[in-house]
Structure 1
Amino acid sequence: MPQTPHPALSVGRYSYDAVDKAFLKQRIAQFRDQVARRMSGELTEEEFKPLRLMNGLYLQLHAYMLRVAIPYGVVSSSQMRTLAHIAERYDRGYGHFTTRQNIQFNWIKLEDTPEILELLAETEMHAIQTSGNCIRNVTADQFAGAASDEVLDPRVYAEILRQWSTLHPEFTFLPRKFKIAISGSPRDRVAARFHDIGLKAHPGKDGRTVFEVYVGGGLGRTPVVGVKLCDDLPEEHLIAYLEAILRVYNAFGRRDNIYKARIKILVQALGAEKFLEHVNAEFAAMDKARYKLPESVVEDIRARFGAPVFLPPEDAAEKLAHQRKADQEFDAWVNTNTHQHKQPGYISVTVSCKPPGGIPGDVTAEQMNVLADLADQYSFGELRITHVQNVVLGHVRQDALYALWKTLQTYALATANAGFITDIIACPGLDYCSLANARSLPISQKISERFSSPELQREIGTLRLNISGCINACGHHHAGHIGILGVDKRGQEAFQITLGGASDQSEVSIGQILGSALSEDETVDAIARIIDTYLASRKAGEQFIETCRRLGNALFKDAVYASA
């Protein structure tokens, strides 16, 4: 059923004011001049590099890549159409959604970038702080503002953090890049403990919402689970406390060695207790009145998101139940790709960007336009990009779900695999990235095809499989129940397998290496043997990560390497 957006404001997406718009115009004019100077030869590539990185422009193996910021993953239908236009006009007809809820265009021409940035600004988008040693895009729960278990809307606080951190004079040139994630629910859907700062909201003792604050998490060549600094940070002190953490990092973080520069290394070097002492001392010395978040400011920002007008018919749930009973394929999709909504008669939908044999996170311009149309028709003109490289329609009437699903089927967007083995997270790998050791995308496609049977995926159950093309871990392989890491083995592409990682469990863990690296085809076969071992060894009702933790890695290692 069509949904009508709020008449005054965009729904679900923060609406820019005059200051935001003027700032973007000024920034684009500056970058247009910098691009012209680079193309004329007045600037060398080395001189131009920090300037382009500040505007989200990377130089990869074959072309420039532009990373567009999608704050906390929320994008409007008009913004999605702009992204589709950029993909069609300036790229090769598609974009790639990332694990920071952004989008990348991999085939951009340098001379086109100012024009692209102008198009983005027209729909209140930009590419600022998607690169560089600064605070990157703040990520949030993809079901923000809709989830039934939510205690606060994390988008509001992610927007506050965006405004605080953008071009912050103290934190523009940090020792290394810095990543923050915020969950508005006690259930972690943002991998909070694998971030430089992770925030989880929960009810406080007096009934008011407070934050758990984790610091020093991260992946890469030194994977670390973040430590809890604070269990009950009041909302009004959020900015002050985070600024205290950043000041300590800025003061003590290493700048002499890029591999030792992340905050996780500093926390380890000082020790969690000593680091906390420094943060508390900095926090105590701050003028709290200056940093306090007044309720009026929070409410003003909340109001700029707009509010859906929910108008479900009384029999929406009954209609959905009837349609599920009549169509088993639809019922299976609802089971895997929907999430309970706090509003009766509504539901949240995960649109899978990973059809069998597809490239994780890649979406064509046609699909982007379709998603924009569906957002207008079914979800108040609003979409969310997830950190697992899918798209969410947050507010769909239950009696409209079947019609939505039928349209998604037409455009290869209705795969019922959210949370299953083919819902793979993968970085672009050696097909694009000059840092990679191996190609992530072909092996992800082979695994997807190998396990494409819906019946087999349902039998396997919940399983997170992540692939990175190098130790920088852009595919978050350490956090996967099964992780795959591309390595160089005597000049050949090869892959290590890790088992036992988890980011969304009560027990967060880092995957451990199973054994020596294998070729691409050997790795696909090894994954199949791991799955066979799990299915033969699990207890009733046990998911893969539970079986893995109960049995340990030895049994799976024997299954993979016994015949080698």
Structure 2
Amino acid sequence: MTATTTRASRTPRAKKPEGQWKVDGTTPLNADEEIKQQDGGLSARQRVIDIYSKQGFSSIPPEDLAPRFKWLGLYTQRKQNLGGELTAQLSNPELQDEYFMMRVRFDGGRATPEQLRVVGEISRDYARSTADFTDRQNIQLHWIRIEDVPTIWEKLNAVGLDTMMGCGDVPRVILGSPVAGVAKDEIIDATPAIEEIVRDYLPREDIHNLPRKFKSAISGNVRQDVTHEIQDVSFVGTTHPELGAGFDCFVGGGLSTNPMLARSLGVFVPLERVAEVWYGVVQIFRDYGYRRLRNRARLKFLVAEWGAEKFLQVLEDEYLDAPLVRNAPVQPHLGNRDHVGVHEQQDGRFYVGVKPTVGHATGEQLIEIAQVAQDFGIQRIRTTPMKELLFLDVEEADVAPLQAALERTGLYANPSEFRRGIISCTGLEFCKLAHATTKSRAIELVDDVEEALGDLDVPISISLNGCPNACARSQVSDIGFKGQTVTDADGNRVEGFQVHLGGALGLGEEAFGRKLRGHKVLASEVSDYVIRVVGNFQQDRQPGESFQQWAVRADEELLQ
């Protein structure tokens, strides 16, 4: 028998189980799954109160520190002065400090001045005055000591806030349109669906152990203002020719090292069924999601294998009370999706959108912002996926004075396109996965570009990410920087970035733009690079051409 025949006659190797509960059973296939089955993540909350806050950081066992603390909205932050070149060389325990990042949850981005003031006071008193608005409408604090966590929880709970399930293998915060119920361009108000999910479904223990994190978004706004294309599940406002206003449902989106766009299920979901369908999708992920390998434990991989048609069939056959009406997929909104500026509401009043640079604030600043809102009688504040702050229900006569007062707190009522469109992740300052500094560099970048170029007459989005996980959406930005360690001209290993150009949401499979082969930018040269490329755009563009359109078709030397 020849070697060729021997190879051909071999029995195919059996496919390894993926850890799908309904296919492979619930036997854990990795350490994280074992820990989650032994004791749920939320169980660590009482231990924080009774033990760890009294005995200190050293009393926390590894299995609570990670992964269970994630269920409580807590991550250990990175030790200071550990360069990005060490990220891939040191283990998580070696990288972590004895302080925590704490994520305060704002479902739908809804906040009150009182809540903002309390978060500001917590930041000032317990977090070294750190506060970052995230692109998931949360606020993150740093330098949190375990000894202070119970007190912080009490202060948050007193104003209706908490950190539970801010992280972990659970449904994270539900993104929502920041102008739900007030915008004149709204198709349908999704607020009741978000409230039903938070009230009736999130407390259910049967969805507190998912394969990995699960990201949701619900918006009835015509601007599609919740980045629905990159969520695990999202509901986007649409209109059925006979049934009126409701939602399209998308599943399986996500970025990171394997970016995929969510797929429409081609159905019409009425408002009263959104929560039911959301819960069904979560259950599919729980029962059929891949659990063996953490880097494949996202819903997007299941959707990619099944396809939208099979996914819908399983959803209807196994998890819903009744089938859904078929409907044409909603068309993407290609215009600006943010809410900066002054906009008239349905009731004739106005909402005002302002921008903190890269979402960064201080505790004292949050307190000042809350006071300004109260001085103008504003009771509703909103955070957004674009890291803006919106102030609702503003009387027309108060618009200009409010903008001026907010400017004095350090917010930008009329930001340049560069300041309006920039976003960054936490980066090397606090994140254990990062290879590069992002937040302070993004602030410096905006200042440098404004000084060199002034403003731009078309929108431009710039994102700085400290690692490949794309928390700041590098693949779908006009100019996206992905942090990595690179070698400079002298052979030193230093902070740098790979560059994505011409990405944007709403473009289908072309959303991820282009990468220049072998092209890296040293962190120290980021400002010079952006100034050079944007200058080339201004010289080379055609009439009416956006930066995204230009970047996709421009000669490579203009993008270097």
State whether TM-score is above 0.5. yes
Within 5 Å, which residues of 2 pair with 1:342-381?
Answer: 342-343=345-346, 345-354=348-357, 360-378=358-376, 380-381=378-379
1:138, distance to aligned residue in structure 2 (A): 0.3
Say yes or no: does 1:512 pair with 2:514.
Answer: yes
Other-structure match for 1:428: 426
1:217, 1:227 within 8 Å by CA — same for their partners in 2? yes
Residues 425 and 118 (structure 1 numbering): CA distance in 2 closer, same or farther, change over 3 Å?
same
1:38, 1:45 within 8 Å by CA — same for their partners in 2? no
Other-structure match for 2:443: 445
Q: Among 126, 147, 156, which residue is 1:120 paired with?
A: 156
Other-structure match for 1:129: 165
1:471, distance to aligned residue in structure 2 (A): 0.9
Other-structure match for 2:75: 58
Other-structure match for 1:280: 316
1:503, 1:509 within 8 Å by CA — same for their partners in 2? yes
Q: Among 388, 391, 408, which residue is 1:390 paired with?
A: 388
1:469, distance to aligned residue in structure 2 (A): 0.5
Other-structure match for 1:152: 188
Residues 132 and 37 (structure 1 numbering): CA distance in 2 closer, same or farther, change over 3 Å?
farther
Describe the SS at the equivalent of 1:281.
helix
Task: Give the counterpart letter for 1:54 in structure 2.
Answer: W
Describe the SS at the equivalent of 1:372.
helix
Residues 105 and 213 (structure 1 numbering): CA distance in 2 closer, same or farther, change over 3 Å?
same
Other-structure match for 1:357: none
Output one character per residue of 1:185-236: Cα deviation in whole Å (capped at 9) or x when no partner: 2321111111001211122223532111111011111111111013311222
1:396, distance to aligned residue in structure 2 (A): 1.4
Which one is further off, 518-527 or 222-231? 518-527
Which one is further off, 450-459 or 146-155? 450-459
Say yes or no: does 1:244 pair with 2:280.
Answer: yes
1:453, distance to aligned residue in structure 2 (A): 4.8
Say yes or no: does 1:546 pair with 2:546.
Answer: no
Give, in whole Å, the separation in 2 of the partners of 1:395 and 1:236.
27
1:415, distance to aligned residue in structure 2 (A): 5.0
TM-score by length of 1: 0.79
1:141, 1:184 within 8 Å by CA — same for their partners in 2? yes
Other-structure match for 2:62: 45
2:541, 2:550 within 8 Å by CA — same for their partners in 1? yes
Within 5 Å, which residues of 2 pair with 1:212-361?
Answer: 212-283=248-319, 286-287=320-321, 337-343=340-346, 345-354=348-357, 360-361=358-359
Residues 65 and 134 (structure 1 numbering): CA distance in 2 closer, same or farther, change over 3 Å?
same
Describe the SS at the equivalent of 2:265.
strand
1:494, 1:518 within 8 Å by CA — same for their partners in 2? yes
Give, in whole Å, the separation in 2 of the partners of 1:40 and 1:55.
15
Other-structure match for 1:483: 480
Output one character per residue of 1:141-176: Cα deviation in whole Å (capped at 9) or x when no partner: 122222111122223222222224423222111111
Q: Among 503, 507, 520, which residue is 1:501 paired with?
A: 503
Describe the SS at the equivalent of 1:517.
strand
Residues 26 and 43 (structure 1 numbering): CA distance in 2 closer, same or farther, change over 3 Å?
closer
Describe the SS at the equivalent of 1:167.
coil
Output one character per residue of 1:27-60: Cα deviation in whole Å (capped at 9) or x when no partner: 9656402524763866523344344222111101
Other-structure match for 1:296: none
Structure 2 stretches of 5 or more lacking a match? 1-41, 80-98, 325-337, 488-492
Residues 40 and 183 (structure 1 numbering): CA distance in 2 closer, same or farther, change over 3 Å?
closer
Give, in whole Å, the separation in 2 of the partners of 1:38 and 1:197.
41
1:419, distance to aligned residue in structure 2 (A): 5.2
Within 5 Å, which residues of 2 pair with 1:67-146?
Answer: 67-146=103-182
Which one is further off, 180-189 or 30-39? 30-39
1:475, distance to aligned residue in structure 2 (A): 1.1
Give, in whole Å, the separation in 2 of the partners of 1:524 and 1:152.
42
Residues 436 and 186 (structure 1 numbering): CA distance in 2 closer, same or farther, change over 3 Å?
same
Describe the SS at the equivalent of 1:493.
strand
Give, in whole Å, the separation in 2 of the partners of 1:462 and 1:85.
35
Task: Give the counterpart letter for 1:56 in structure 2.
Answer: G
1:440, 1:467 within 8 Å by CA — same for their partners in 2? yes
Give, in whole Å, the separation in 2 of the partners of 1:230 and 1:27.
41
2:345, 2:351 within 8 Å by CA — same for their partners in 1? no
1:190, 1:504 within 8 Å by CA — same for their partners in 2? no
Within 5 Å, which residues of 2 pair with 1:410-425?
Answer: 410-414=408-412, 416-417=414-415, 420=418, 423-425=421-423
Give the root-mean-square deviation of aligned CA atoms. Answer: 2.7
TM-score by length of 2: 0.80
Residues 398 and 141 (structure 1 numbering): CA distance in 2 closer, same or farther, change over 3 Å?
same
Other-structure match for 1:533: 536
Residues 27 and 61 (structure 1 numbering): CA distance in 2 closer, same or farther, change over 3 Å?
closer
Other-structure match for 2:404: 406
1:506, distance to aligned residue in structure 2 (A): 8.3
Give, in whole Å, the separation in 2 of the partners of 1:178 and 1:414.
32
Give, in whole Å, the separation in 2 of the partners of 1:507 and 1:187.
20
Task: Give the counterpart letter for 1:437 in structure 2.
Answer: H
Output one character per residue of 1:54-85: Cα deviation in whole Å (capped at 9) or x when no partner: 21111011321111111111111111110111
Which one is further off, 524-533 or 78-87? 524-533
Other-structure match for 1:199: 235
Other-structure match for 2:330: none
Other-structure match for 1:559: 558
1:99, distance to aligned residue in structure 2 (A): 1.1
Say yes or no: does 1:523 pair with 2:526.
Answer: yes
1:151, 1:209 within 8 Å by CA — same for their partners in 2? yes
